[in-house]
Amino acid sequence: MTALVCPAGHVTQATDYCDTCGAVLVAAGTHASPGTPDGAAPARTGATSTSAARPGGIGSTDVLGATVANGACPTCGAPARARALFCENCGHDFTTDAPPASPSRASFSGSSPSGSSPSGSSPSGSSVPGSSVPGAAHAPSSDPAAGEVPAAETDLPSSSARLSRGWTGSARISTPTHAPESTSPTAPSPPASEPWVVEVWTDPQWYEAQQAAEPLPAPAPPGLVLIRERSVLVGRTSHSRNIHPQVDCGDDTGVSRRHCQLNTDGRRWWVEDLRSSNGTYVGTAGARLPSEALRPGDRREVLEGDRVYLGAWTRLSIRRALPGEF
C-alpha cells in the first residue's frame, strides 16, 4: 500500500485522515517520495505556491498545500463559513491547518456528541501531547444542583439572624450580660453591737425608802429589755408628747417621761440624768441604798454589779444577754 503524507508532513497509511494529527488527506500530491524521509514535507506544486501567497480558507488551498474539502472543519467536521480563518466550533486554524490547542471545545458541539474525530475511531497516537488544559477536569461546576454548595450558603449568619437566634460566633448560646448570682452561702452580717439586757425590777426596799403614796405592785420576775443601740432612753411612754423610751418603766409614776440616758461603747456603760423630777441614783449590790442623786448632765459609769434606782420602786441592772435571750 502506498504511504501518504498529510498537510502537516506526517507519513500515514490511512487514505482519508492522518493517523498522527487527523488532518484531511488530499489524494493528489500526497504520496511519499522514495527519497523523502519519514515526516518530511512533500514537494510543493505550482498550484500550492500560487495559493500560498494568500490566506487559506474553506474551499481553498492552505499554506501547506492541503485543500479543505466539502466546507467542513478537518478536526471536528463542523460546517464552516466560506473563507473563514478558523473553525467556530473547535478553533481549528484554517490558515495554518493547525489543530486546536484543546480538543475539549469540540465535546460541547452538537454535531459531534462524543467529542471524537470525524472518522469515529480513536487510533493510537491521535491525541496531541499537551493539548489538555491542566486542572480542567477539576474545574468546579457553576450549577448548584450538581452538588456544589454555593459560597453564599457557607458564609456566617447575618447580623439580624445572629440577634434573633442569640448567635455568639459559635454554637453556644450567648451568655447573659449580668453577672450570675453566687450560690455559695454568705456570712451573716454582724450585729450593730453586742446584745445587752436591761433588767427592770420592782424593789420593795427602794419603795420603803421613798415612802410613795402609790401601792407597791405584786412581786414578779424582772422585765427583760434587749438592747443593741449604743444610746438608750429610760422613762415612761407618752403618746401625746411622742415619747417612746426603749426602757419603759410602766406604772411607776415617780419616773419622768424622759428620766435618764444609758450610753455604751460596746464594753462599758454610763448613765446620765436628764433633769428628772425625782433624780437618778447608782448603788452597789449588797451595799446600803444610795442617798445622793446624780447631778443632771453628769455621766456616771455603771460598773459590773451596780444598780440604777429611780422612781418609787424601779431598779435597773445591765448585763450581757445570755444565749436564748436574743
Question: d(Cα 198, Cα 320) in Å, to the nearest integer?
Answer: 9
3-state secondary structure the chain: CCCEECCCCCEECCCCECCCCCCECCCCCCECCCCCCCCCCCCCCHHHHHHCCCCCCCCCECCCCCECCCCECCCCCCECCCCCCECCCCCCECCCCECCCCHHHHHHCCCCCCCCCCCCCCCCCCCCCCCCCCCHHHCCCCCHHHCCCCHHHHCCCCHHHHHHHCECCCCCECCCCCCCCCCCCCCCCCCCCCCEEEEEEECHHHHHHHCCCCCCCCCCCCEEEEECCCEEEEECCECCCCECCCEECCCCCCCCCEEEEEEECCCCEEEEECCCCCCCEEEECCCCCCCCCCCCCCEEEECCCEEEEECCCEEEEEEECCCCCC
- Which conformational region is residue 286 in: left (phi greater than 0), alpha (psi within -120 to 50 degrees), or beta? left
pLDDT of res. 206? 96
Ranges of each domain in the chain = 1-127, 196-320
Percent of the chain with pLDDT over 90: 36
Residue 202 has pLDDT above 80, yes or no: yes
pLDDT, residue 207, reads: 96
Summarize the confidence of residues 282-304 as an average pLDDT: 93
Average pLDDT over residues 13-38: 63
pLDDT at 215 over 50: yes
Find which of 3-17, 30-44, 53-67, 208-222 is predicted with most confidence, using mean pLDDT: 208-222
Q: Regarding beta strands 196-202 and 269-273, do their DSSP bridges make them parallel or antiparallel, or are they unpaired?
A: unpaired
Give the integer Cα–Cα distance in Å for 247 and 236: 8
The CA-based angle 311-314-315, given to 5 degrees, is: 125
Residue listed under C-alpha cell 506526517:
10
Class of domain 196-320 (CATH, top level): mainly beta
Q: Which pTM was predicted?
A: 0.43
Q: What is the mean pLDDT of residues 231-238?
A: 96
pLDDT digits (tens, 9 = 90+) for 126-154: 444 444 444 444 444 445 444 444 444 44
